């Protein structure tokens, strides 16, 4: 179980958040936003404040009527949620050839570390 999801992110403007929710595309070339169907190369790991399930996302897919909600889709979502639990909020991720989430390089603007 995770409380994290993927939001679209423009790698040229990583400080700007774009509304939406991503799932891996069926062809493993990136992500698709579930309401618009728009393709994205990268996603930002965001905190949702509540547990996210495969069913939650499938309900939105059904509502958007843009994708078939079949077993393959469910599997992709399930795999994504499982992997998201291991990523940090704020990580920028892409999609590997086997539907695996891959951490992309952090943007340059990262201010030092917490004093410890």
Partner 1 sequence: MRISEINIYPIKSLKGISVDSAVIERHGLKYDRRWLLLDANGTFMTQREVPKMATVSVAIRENGLLVTADGITAMVVPFEPQNGEEIVAEVWGTKSRAIAYGGGVDAWFSQVLGLECKLVFMPDDAGREINELFNAGDDVVSFADGYPQLLIGEASLADINKKLAGETPAVRLEMNRFRPNIVVDTTEAFAEDDWKRIKIGDAVFRSTKPCARCVMTTVDQAMGEFTGKEPLKTLSTYRLAKDVIHDRYGSFGMSPNAVCFGQNLVAESIGSTINVGDEVEILESY
**CA–CA distance, 8 with 39 (Å, rounded to integer):** 9
Q: Binding to partner 1 by residue 108, rule CB under 8 A?
A: no
Q: Binder to partner 1 among 90, 96, 102, 103 (CB under 8 A)?
A: 90
Q: Binding to partner 1 by residue 116, rule CB under 8 A?
A: yes
Contacts of partner 1 in 14-43 (CB under 8 A): 14-19
**CA–CA distance, 78 with 80 (Å, rounded to integer):** 5
Q: Binding to partner 1 by residue 12, rule CB under 8 A?
A: no
**CA–CA distance, 59 with 10 (Å, rounded to integer):** 26
**8-state DSSP, 93:** E
- The residues of the shown chain that bind partner 1, judged by CB under 8 A, are 2-4, 7, 9, 14-19, 44, 46-50, 88-90, 109-116
């Amino acid at each position: 179980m995770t409380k994290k999801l993927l939001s679209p992110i423009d790698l040229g403007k990583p400080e700007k958040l774009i509304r939406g929710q991503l799932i891996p595309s069926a062809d493993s070339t990136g992500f698709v936003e579930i309401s618009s169907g728009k393709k994205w190369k990268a996603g930002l790991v965001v905190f949702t404040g509540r547990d996210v399930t495969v069913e939650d996302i499938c309900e939105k897919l059904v509502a958007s009527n843009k994708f078939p909600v079949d077993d393959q889709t469910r599997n992709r979502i399930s795999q994504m949620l499982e992997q998201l639990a291991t990523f940090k909020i704020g990580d920028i991720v892409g999609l590997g050839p086997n539907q695996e989430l891959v951490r992309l390089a952090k943007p340059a603007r990262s201010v030092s570390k917490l004093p410890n």
